[in-house]
Every structure is written in structure tokens, then in C-alpha cells.
């Protein structure tokens, strides 16, 4: 779950969504949500399957409402700091804890919903779903590259040539740190096991990928976003920071909406 969804200030220092490590300018939850929705849309579902998946979606919406609320509060708090030009982790610690706690509370239900989705689909559909999901996530990897992120920032904030060079150096350095962390490879391997197991006849997440300390991992992921933001903010002008803060606030409004696709909850970051 890229909890902040920081527009144009990507986190390249924390593990991201299922297998893709997509560290682009929207939250990983949004990237994965779209990938899940599109992958399911490709399946030729029977009426009873559609009904069962709709039920999972509605249950997930209710279960994750506290997560969306906590994320919104955190994003708004960070937006104020972005506009001021200084990230104060201590000041947003209460909001970070709320997000981490909400995700940890929802995670068991998310995992159960993913197992239920496995039961709903037949073997051919499971294989097709996994193939489609992997293909879509692979296609998004390019958006995580420093050059692509700088281009995104330039479109959003109209960077000067000097700023683009500075930001590229910062993001490249953070990217190298991120990829050198053992958690990076472990996260990819974990999701590879999960998706491979999903194609089989028996799918038990507790055996394939036992749940870890969700709150701790979410906290570290958020701190990665703040770290990236703190590194980039000094490069921006006051006007650019104000524009970025406004985009963050707009993004936060999206977390208070009611639009949902065919999501079970597992399209957010697996722990």
C-alpha cells in the first residue's frame, strides 16, 4: 500500500505493490486496484461468479473504509508540510499509526477474501487471472524508473533543466538504496509464490506466505515516502511546493469517495 500516494514525489525507498515494485506517482494501492479490476474484467465470468465477486467487493469496501479515512488524514497532513517545505515525521506520527493500525486490522479479511476469490474461479480462470495480473504489473515497471518519474514531475510542476538533473540524481540514489535492501528481493519472491500458488487447486495463504507484522511494514513503507519527499522538497520552489501540496489534497479527496471496482482488498499491498 503506498499509503501517501504522493503526486510527483515518489517513494523509491520502500517495497511496493504485488510483484511490480511500482513506485510511481500514485499510490501502489491504486495501481494494484486497477490491475486487479482489469484482470478480472478479462475473465468470462458466469453470473453466479459475478455475484460472488460483487459480494467480496462490497465486503472489502466496508472493511477498508477506516484505511481510506486514515490515509486521507495522513495525506492532508503531509500536504501541509510539503507546502511549508519541511517534513516533520514526529508531527505526522499519530496519522501514520492510524494508517498502520487500520491496514493491520483489515489485512486478515483481505487475505480471506483473496482465498475466497480462488474458490470462486475455476482453474483456467485462475491461470488467466494471474497471467493478466503479471502482464499488467510488468507493464507498469517502467513508470517506476527515475527518468519516468522526473518526466512526471516535470509535467506536474514545470521543472527547470537544473531541477530535473538534481531530482534525477536524488531518485537514482534512492532507487539504488531500495534495490539493495533484502526486503526488495524478498517482496518479489513472496508475491511470486502467492501468484503461483493461486493457480493451483489448493490455495492457503497461511502456508504460502504467513502474515507478518503488517503495522510495522506499513510504517516503514510510509517512512520511505517521507524520506523521498524530504530529499526532493529542497529542490522545488515555493510555488512548485504549493502546486504539489494542492495535488496531494486533491489525491486525498479521492480517498473519501465511493467509487470502487471489482476489488477484494488483496489488491492493496500484501504484507
Q: Look at residue 11 in the predicted model and tell me its pLDDT.
A: 35
Residue-number span of the structural domain to which 198 is assigned = 28-41+57-254
* Separation between Cα atoms, residue 249 and residue 7, nearest integer Å: 10
Could you report how far apart the first and last alpha carbons of the chain are, in Å?
Answer: 9
Report the percentage of the chain scoring pLDDT > 70: 82
Domain for residue 21, yes or no?
Answer: no
Please report whether residue 265 resides in a domain: no
In tens, the pLDDT along 55-93 reads 999 999 999 999 999 999 999 999 999 999 999 999 999
Q: How many domains does the chain have?
A: 1
pLDDT score of 27 more than 60:
no
C-alpha to C-alpha distance for 151 and 164, rounded to whole angstroms:
8
Is 245 within the bounds of a domain?
A: yes
Separation CA 243–CA 236 (nearest Å): 10
Which helix (H) or strand (E) covers residue 181, if one does? none
Q: Would 269 be classed as within a structural domain? A: no
Burial of 8 (0-12, 13-18, 19+ CB in 10 A): buried
- Is residue 154 assigned to a domain? yes
Report if residue 181 sits inside a domain.
yes
Q: In Å, how far are 69, 86, 88, 251, 254 from 73, measured between CA atoms?
A: 6, 18, 15, 11, 12
CA–CA gap between residue 129 and residue 8 (Å, rounded) = 30
pTM for this predicted structure: 0.82
Residue 22 in any domain: the answer is no
**When comparing pLDDT for 229 and 33, which is higher?**
229
Within-domain flag for 123: yes
* Tens digits of residue pLDDT in 208-266: 999 989 999 999 989 988 988 999 999 999 999 999 999 999 999 875 444 444 445 54
Amino acid at each position: 500500500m503506498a499509503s501517501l500516494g504522493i503526486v510527483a514525489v515518489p517513494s523509491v525507498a520502500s517495497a511496493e505493490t504485488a510483484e511490480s515494485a511500482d513506485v510511481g506517482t500514485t499510490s501502489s494501492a491504486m495501481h494494484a486496484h486497477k490491475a486487479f479490476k482489469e484482470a478480472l474484467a478479462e475473465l468470462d465470468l458466469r453470473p453466479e461468479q459475478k455475484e460472488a465477486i460483487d459480494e467480496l467487493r462490497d465486503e472489502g469496501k466496508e472493511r477498508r473504509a477506516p484505511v481510506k479515512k486514515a490515509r486521507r488524514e495522513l495525506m492532508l497532513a503531509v500536504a501541509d508540510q510539503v507546502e511549508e517545505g519541511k517534513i516533520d515525521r514526529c508531527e505526522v506520527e499519530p496519522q501514520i499509526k492510524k494508517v498502520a493500525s487500520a491496514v493491520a486490522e483489515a489485512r486478515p479479511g483481505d487475505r480471506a477474501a483473496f482465498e475466497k476469490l480462488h474458490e470462486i474461479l475455476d482453474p483456467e480462470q485462475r491461470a488467466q487471472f494471474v497471467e493478466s495480473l503479471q502482464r499488467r504489473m510488468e507493464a507498469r515497471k517502467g513508470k517506476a524508473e527515475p527518468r519516468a518519474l522526473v518526466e512526471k514531475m516535470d509535467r506536474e510542476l514545470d521543472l527547470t533543466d537544473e531541477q530535473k538533473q538534481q531530482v534525477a540524481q536524488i531518485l537514482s540514489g534512492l532507487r539504488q538504496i531500495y534495490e539493495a535492501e533484502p526486503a526488495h528481493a524478498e517482496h518479489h519472491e513472496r508475491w511470486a509464490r502467492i501468484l503461483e500458488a493461486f493457480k493451483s487447486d489448493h490455495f492457503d495463504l497461511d502456508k504460502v506466505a504467513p502474515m507478518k507484522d503488517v503495522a510495522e511494514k506499513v510504517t516503514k513503507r510510509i517512512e520511505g515516502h517521507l524520506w523521498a519527499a524530504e530529499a526532493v522538497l529542497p529542490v522545488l520552489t515555493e510555488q512548485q511546493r504549493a502546486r504539489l501540496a494542492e495535488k496531494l489534497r486533491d489525491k486525498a479527496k479521492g480517498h473519501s469517495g465511493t467509487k470502487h471496482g471489482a476489488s477484494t482488498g488483496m489488491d492493496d499491498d500484501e504484507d
